[in-house]
């Protein structure tokens, strides 16, 4: 049985470690804005019962999801490096069977019933977020091929303010992805790529990945701190 307290402790530790190196040039005058990418049609049409930041365990089940365990961390920032606190970060992705948590996003193998498929997290005072999930896999749904990626939605004051996707740097299928081909500037392309690296000392082959989202402008929360869940906007 998995020790829930232990895995949550690891999540916190990974997040703290990632903060030290996740933003090259953090104190530079200007950071390059992360390329915005469409939300796509497969935002969950029914949220799971468990919506925390650990996508591998649903309601403390003993059986984890299939796939390569990945500790995904990063920060939400302004272009001047200012951390965006209390940002509502959502991620969603296909499971190891290449199926989304969506009625129209299921492959013939069906769902991995132990994979949450969706998670959310409220950034802290340093703009940090952290998730435990799986390394993304490629899929073809509705005749559309996608290279491995994870969707991000960022909301503030009850409104969706940013959507993007993170992809595996150097993956051989990236060149075949129609959405990535739309990004012509190599520097802009780098803003939606990251490395999935082995977690030092892990005996289970776990991975770490760090992905910072740089917003186009500084945001200020309302006094009541209202936050909300984003809604699908269409796309691929």
Does residue 164 have a pLDDT over 70? yes
pLDDT of residue 11: 56
pLDDT per position as a tens digit, 206-223: 999 999 999 875 444 333
Mean pLDDT (whole number) for 66-80: 96
- Residue 235 — pLDDT band, cuts 50, 70, 90? very low
Distance of CA 180 to the CA centre of its chain: 17
pLDDT of residue 61: 82
Does residue 9 have a pLDDT over 90? no
Residue 91 Cα distances to 119, 149, 179, angstroms: 5, 10, 18
Instruction: Give the range with max mean pLDDT: 1-5, 19-23, 145-149.
Output: 145-149
Predicted structure pTM score: 0.83
Does residue 23 have a pLDDT over 70? no
pLDDT of residue 219: 44
pLDDT per position as a tens digit, 172-187: 999 999 999 999 999 9
Residues assigned a catalytic role: 100, 139, 146, 149, 151
pLDDT per position as a tens digit, 196-210: 999 999 999 999 999
pLDDT of residue 30: 80
Domain over 4-214 is classified CATH 2.60.130.10? yes
Does residue 115 have a pLDDT over 70? yes
Q: What mean pLDDT value characterizes the chain? A: 85
Does residue 24 have a pLDDT over 50? no
Residue partners of 45: CB distance under 8 A and separation at least 6: 102, 103, 104, 232
Does residue 1 have a pLDDT over 80? no
CB atoms within 10 A of CB 218: 11
**Token code pair at residue 116:** 């949450």
Q: Three-state secondary structure along the chain?
A: CCCHHHHHHHHHHHHHHHHCCCCCCCCCCCCCCCCCCCCECCCCCCCCCCCCCECCCCCCCCCCCCCCEEEEEEEEECCCCCECCCCEEEEECCCCCCCCCCCCCCCCCCCCCCCCCEEEEECCCCCEEEEEEECCCCEEECCEEECCEEEEEEEECCEEEEEEEEEECCCCCHHHCCCHHHCCCHHHHHCCEECCEECCCCCCCCEEEECCEECCCCCCCCCCCCCCCCCCCECC
Q: Is the dihedral of CA 121, 123, 92, 197 positive or negative?
A: negative
The radius of gyration of the chain from alpha carbons, rounded to an integer in Å, stands at: 17
- Percent pLDDT > 90 in the chain is 73
Does residue 230 have a pLDDT over 70? no
* 8-12, 91-95, 141-145: segment of lowest average pLDDT: 8-12
């Amino acid at each position: 049985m998995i020790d829930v307290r232990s895995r949550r402790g690891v999540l916190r530790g990974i997040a703290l470690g990632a903060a030290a190196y996740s933003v090259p040039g953090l104190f530079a005058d200007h950071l390059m804005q992360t390329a915005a990418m469409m939300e796509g049609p497969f935002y969950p049409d029914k949220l799971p019962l468990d919506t925390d930041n650990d996508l591998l365990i649903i309601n403390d089940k003993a059986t984890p999801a299939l796939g390569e365990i990945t500790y995904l961390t990063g920060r939400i920032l302004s272009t001047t490096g200012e951390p965006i606190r209390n940002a509502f970060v959502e991620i969603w992705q296909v499971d190891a069977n290449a199926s989304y948590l969506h009625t129209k996003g299921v492959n013939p193998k069906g769902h991995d019933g132990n994979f949450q498929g969706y998670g959310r997290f409220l950034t802290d005072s340093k703009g940090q977020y952290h998730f435990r999930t799986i390394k993304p896999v490629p899929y073809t749904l509705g005749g559309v091929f996608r290279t491995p990626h994870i969707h991000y939605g960022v909301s503030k004051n009850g409104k969706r303010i940013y959507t993007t996707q993170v992809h595996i740097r150097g993956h051989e299928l990236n060149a075949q992805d129609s959405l990535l081909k739309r990004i012509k500037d190599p520097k802009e392309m780098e803003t939606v790529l990251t490395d999935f690296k082995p977690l030092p000392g892990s005996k289970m082959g776990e991975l770490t990945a760090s992905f910072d989202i740089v917003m186009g402008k500084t945001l200020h929360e309302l006094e009541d701190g209202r936050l909300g869940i984003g809604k699908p906007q269409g796309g691929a």
